[in-house]
Amino acid sequence: LPAGERRDVKRTLSPQRGEGWDEGADIPLNRERKAETPKPFKKDKPEEACGVYGVFAPKEDVARLTYFGLHALQHRGQESAGIAVGDGNSIFVVKDMGLVPLVFNEKSLAGLQGNIALGHVRYSTTGSTKWENAQPIHKTFKEGTLALAHNGNLVNSKHLKEMLTRNGSFFNSTSDTEVIADLIASFVGDGSVEKAILQTMNLLEGAYSVAMITEDKLYAFRDPHGIRPLCIGKLKNNYIISSETCGLDIIGAKFVDQVKPGELIVISSKGMKRKQILEAKPSLCIFEFIYFARPDSELLKKNLYHCRKKMGKYLAQEAPAKADMVIGVPDSGVPAAIGFAEEAKLPYGEGLIKNRYIGRTFIEPSQTIREVGIRMKLNPLASTIKGKKIVVVDDSIVRGNTTKKIIGLLKEAGAKEVHVRISSPPYKYPCFYGIDTDSIDELVASKNSVEQIRKWIKADSLYYLSLKSLIKATGCKSDSFCTACLTGEYPVKISDELKLSKLMLEKTSTK
């Protein structure tokens, strides 16, 4: 591409084998944009990790297919986006900070030609918001190159990184994803890539749903608990790997199966091979059902929109309210609100209008805009709610600040009463597997009763859905899920030493 193009998008290019590659050269070409990007204010929701996407489709435009797949997964991460393409001899990576359509355009996609592709959208849960932590992560090894994308959080990443550093590894990023990539690259010298992944999986602890490419193969593997989702699709005779089924739907691919917990998938010109590496102990994150995954996705053979409607239905049975209408907090609270309204035989209406074009902004707001606060994204519809008793349904309360502001907006707009109903139990415990709530002090329900929370957010009443009804609404067995954030029962042991912030690897020395 012309030199002028290289100012717009940061690139890394793997060489042909034998050319000699300086691992330290894997840096942004435009150094002026290398500084850490300020993160926007934390919203009153659990923040998720990432979305991963893989395509094995010789003779197809793999970069364009991946681009649209990442569009469908954009809700899983808005900090950075990247695509890596393999052509049988090398891997070419384009990644940058920002949303998918800001990182990629026709020219950049035209430069990504190959038979195999890997895509990623990121929300940081380990490592800060800067270019070096954008994915896919690129690594070289004696026999070739790899690019790797990861959704989840390791709980032993600090220990593994220190071990690798002592053995001579060099790290460009401060995320646990590079730890996984470096382990695999280190082990390949002892045998095949497949064997290296097996050795790596035996060392990893925590949550990891990974897609990876070499020059000519696509790999996917999951932790034995399957905490983060990952599925397989088929497009004609080609294969797709996606965090959610909505990533398959957007390109017309058909769902084949979930990547099973502890399983390794290898896709090549010979087809797909599956191998169970670790004993499966299924514990899918319950918040994938409640909030994270798109409502049009399917998990554990269940449609999430219908599950969320049932959560609202059971919530109406457990906590009815004398009210004039039901509204949902857009967009995640809407399915449960519809279910609540149907069960309670109350009219459902739109009382909060969402600005769907605000997106994720990295511009720091002025003091005036700070005071406007939640109005940047939500605005009450006064003509609908004035003088009425309102039931407001949302999927969760994490910190409570946004919920409090929404209630204030509704009352300022003339709501006579505001009754809050939450379609999940109180969020009491921090998550260490890929949700950005690693401090118990951030969680309003950890040290306050429901009544104390009600008084603080100034609601006329507040009720949460019971855990029993939540599980019932999913249509799955209770042992199918990780409910650590609700119950404090962690499927992977968390030691006090590992209860560190997501920036912990930034303090780990590199060679």
C-alpha dist (Å) from residue 105 to 4, 38, 181, 235, 381: 15, 24, 28, 24, 37
Kindly give the interhelix angle for 304-318 and 467-474, rounded to the nearest 10 degrees. Answer: 150
Please count the CA atoms within 13 angstroms of the CA of 14 that sit on its side-chain side.
29
**15/223 Cα distance (integer angstroms):** 31
Q: Which tokens in the block code for residue 504?
A: 């912990």
Strands, E assignment, 45-177: 50-56, 80-86, 91-97, 116-122, 137-141, 144-151
How many CB atoms neighbour CB 264 within 10 A?
21
**245/248 Cα distance (integer angstroms):** 5
- Residue numbers annotated as active site: 50
* 456 neighbors 404 (Cβ within 8 angstroms): yes
Listed in sequence order, the DSSP H helices in 52-202 are: 62-72, 100-103, 106-110, 157-166, 176-188, 193-201
Nearest to 95 by CA among 50, 51, 131: 131
Secondary structure element (H or E) that encloses residue 285, with its range: strand 284-285
Q: Is 288 helix (H, G, I), strand (E, B) or coil?
A: helix
* 80 neighbors 98 (Cβ within 8 angstroms): yes
Q: Kindly compute the dihedral angle of the four CA atoms of residues 295, 300, 302, 305, in this order, to the nearest 10 degrees.
A: -20
